Amino acid sequence: MELNERAELDTSQANDLGRGSGGSGGGFGIPIPGGGGRGGIIGIVVAVLVALLGGGFGLNAMTNGDEGGQAGGTDLEQLCSTANSERLDDARCRNLLYVNSIQDYWKKAYPELGRSDYEVTTTNFFQAAVNTGCGQADSGVGPFYCPADRKVYIDLSFYDELASRFGAKGEFAQPYVLAHEYGHHVQNLLGTNAKAGQGDQSGPRSASVRLELQADCYAGAWARHATESKDKTGQQPLFKSITEADISQAIDAAEAIGDDSIQERSGGRVNPDQFTHGTSEQRKRWFNQGYDRGDPKTCDTFGTDQL
């Protein structure tokens, strides 16, 4: 993958919130339940938040405690302007570029789904903890989309976790993660989220799994068209090139975070009743479906028996 150094980034599409206080503070310490119930307050909060990862990653990560203050955010307009020749060495600017590309794609692709009103939304970079329209979250929850405030949230150190714990080391795992979250935004705009919220929230054929696999498929559809995406001026491409090796990195990431793989890695047995995001094989296959067809209309995970 080669990014275009000359691209003008639209800094209105991301904010750097800096470090939030509250929560358990720092570190991932991803808790994976060996069984037992989810639920209580956490269950209610997580129900309105769509995270990249399942397997109980959200447990202990949402709190209704003290409001955490945010501090130390950086002005992305300055950091990511073309005047800064080192901007693309900074993960925040690279991720801003990915967000720009994903949304440029959806502005064009959304009408293919029969709608004309794609709504651009922001990604908030945070560290440790953050207050959202879905409650307070800490980094342990992983990247997520909050339907209530229609924003994407990510602690960029998650990518280190993705590399070290899940073995998904490639840079292209990053735009895959973001494209998955923007898939949830599209679902929210379409009303798919709300409908799925009324269905089963876990199990191999649950509404939750269908929602997540569709978000993976939408990510694949973006990847197919990513090199066509343009910068803020509409003149410059955002990517100079994307190779098959890059696409493999996205597929590796999708595969690494399948419910079955996560359950196995946590030392537990594979329990399909607790699936929320789909198996590794399914996540890989639905990403490929979107990538191969390049058309979000082919991402109908709700209308098929072949999940």
Which positions lie near Zn ion, rule CB under 5 A?
A: 50, 212, 215
Residue labelled with tokens 């207050």: 131
Helices (H), 110-206: 158-164, 173-190, 192-197
Q: How far is the CB of 73 from Zn ion (least distance, A)?
A: 25
Q: How far is the CB of 183 from Zn ion (least distance, A)?
A: 7
Q: Is 102:182 a contact under the CB 8 Å cutoff?
A: yes
Query: In sequence order, which residues have a C-beta less than 8 Å from that of residue 54 and are 6 or more positions away?
Result: 208, 212, 259, 262, 274, 275, 276, 277
Q: Which residues of 32-41 are buried (b: 16+ CB within 10 A; e: fewer)?
A: eeeeeeeeee
Specify the residue, 229 or 276, whose C-beta has the smaller distance to Zn ion.
276
Q: Is 218:182 a contact under the CB 8 Å cutoff?
A: yes
Question: In whole angstroms, what is the distance from residue 153 CA to residue 178 CA?
Answer: 9
SS3 127: strand
Q: How far is the CB of 29 from Zn ion (least distance, A)?
A: 21
Q: How far is the CB of 98 from Zn ion (least distance, A)?
A: 16
The strand pair at 14-20 and 123-127 is best described as parallel
Specify the residue, 87 or 184, whose C-beta has the smaller distance to Zn ion.
184
Q: Is 183:216 a contact under the CB 8 Å cutoff?
A: yes
Q: How far is the CB of 211 from Zn ion (least distance, A)?
A: 7
Specify the residue, 17 or 50, whose C-beta has the smaller distance to Zn ion.
50
Specify the residue, 49 or 93, whose C-beta has the smaller distance to Zn ion.
49
SS3 250: helix
Q: How far is the CB of 215 from Zn ion (least distance, A)?
A: 5
